[in-house]
Amino acid sequence: MPPVFDKKNILVTGGAGFIGSHVCEKLLATGARVICVDNLVSAQLNNIDFLLKNPDFEFIRQDIVMPFDPEQYPELERFKIKFQGVQEIYHLACPMSPKHFEQTRMQTLYANSVGMKNVLDLAVKYHAKALFTSTSTVYGPRPADNHALKEEEVGCVNALSSRACYDEGKRFAETCCATYRQVHNVDVKIARVFRTYGPRERLFSGEMIPDFIVNALDGKDIEIYGDETFLTSLCYVTDVVDALIKLMNTDGDLGPVNVGSDLDMPIVDVVRTILEMTGSSSRIVFQPSLMFMTPLGLPDLAKAKEKLGWMPLVRLEEGLKKIIDYTVANRQLLSGFAQTAPPATIKPPQGPAPA
């Protein structure tokens, strides 16, 4: 359905999070009206505080696992949703904190099931395009031969593991997307996002790059949760956002699309680069692996290059400089907002959202 007025109404769930806040910022720059929905379980208001005065932006503190009707919010009346509806929905809402994953298992389970259903029901109601940010972990562990992962690979995930609410939850959410396309003809896109870094990642929650930088600046030991063989790829957040928006703007069903960097690197080399760039004398210390800090496979980017005309452009050194500069400028503020642990419980939904 084309916009009735001059600007599209776009809903972003998880819009106050790391990637979500960058999505909101980019969409506003393209001239859209943006409704940011977030329960702040693993996000921070300071990620979007510079957007709050924009008349085309509105933040709603709401858990997407609860029924959500944007027409019932007086603060959204200027968006004229009753007449124009919503044209696009980006579903990024899902807790992500490697160090505190065990405290957010129920939130994760609901976001990938009931939350996904609520988003797709809204897409049906408004005939909106939708995009779901899935994850590289749907492929399972890094393959033994280290081949680049193509979207056609079915992957192998333990549905009963201690982290299955995330891994299998994302796979189930992809199934929801495919089913709503088949039954309701929803134009829904699936982006399988690989490791991403950049400004606005939370501190002290196990996110590698920001914690490395803060400890380097403070002269503290830099902890790597693994050993010297830990390999990873890293894609800068603005590259990821560009891919998501390009994917949303495509026509037809492309199926899942990998979004990330296909350049493999030892994480210890990344740390050494940070030490050099910050002039730090911090020591590198290896710690036992965390449940969510494990080597992941590399993406095959052929589909993204061919169908989206996209590839990551920001070099690691350039991206690290940007996040180092951001951390230096905002370290005191960031430390004040950093959460030592997220809420341990969540009120379960009282029933499925109305279809």
- C-alpha 264 chain-centroid distance: 21
Instruction: Give the amino acid at 191.
Output: A
For the beta carbon of residue 135, count every other beta carbon within 10 angstroms: 23
Q: Dihedral (C-alpha) 243, 245, 247, 251: value to the nearest 10 degrees?
A: -150
- Asked if 21 and 47 touch (Cβ cutoff 8 Å), the reply is yes
**pLDDT per residue over 133-153, tens digit each?**
999 999 988 888 889 999 999
Consecutive 10-residue runs of the chain (355 residues): their mean pLDDT? 74 96 98 96 90 97 94 95 96 79 83 96 98 94 89 88 88 97 98 95 75 92 86 95 98 96 94 96 87 78 98 96 90 53 40 38
- List the chain domain ranges: 9-200+234-261+297-313
In the block, tokens 């990344």 appear at: 270
Fold (topology level) of 9-200+234-261+297-313: Rossmann fold (3.40.50)
Phi first, then psi, for residue 35 (nearest 5°) are: -105, 115
What distance in Å separates the CA atoms of residue 155 and residue 86, rounded to the nearest whole number? 34
Q: Is 225 a catalytic residue?
A: no
From 110, 166, 180, 197, the catalytic residue: 166
Q: What is the mean pLDDT of the chain?
A: 88
Instruction: Give the amino acid at 175.
Output: T
What distance in Å separates the CA atoms of residue 300 and residue 167, rounded to the nearest whole number? 19
Looking at the whole model, is its pTM more than 0.75?
A: yes
Which pLDDT score, from 0 to 100, does residue 344 have? Answer: 36
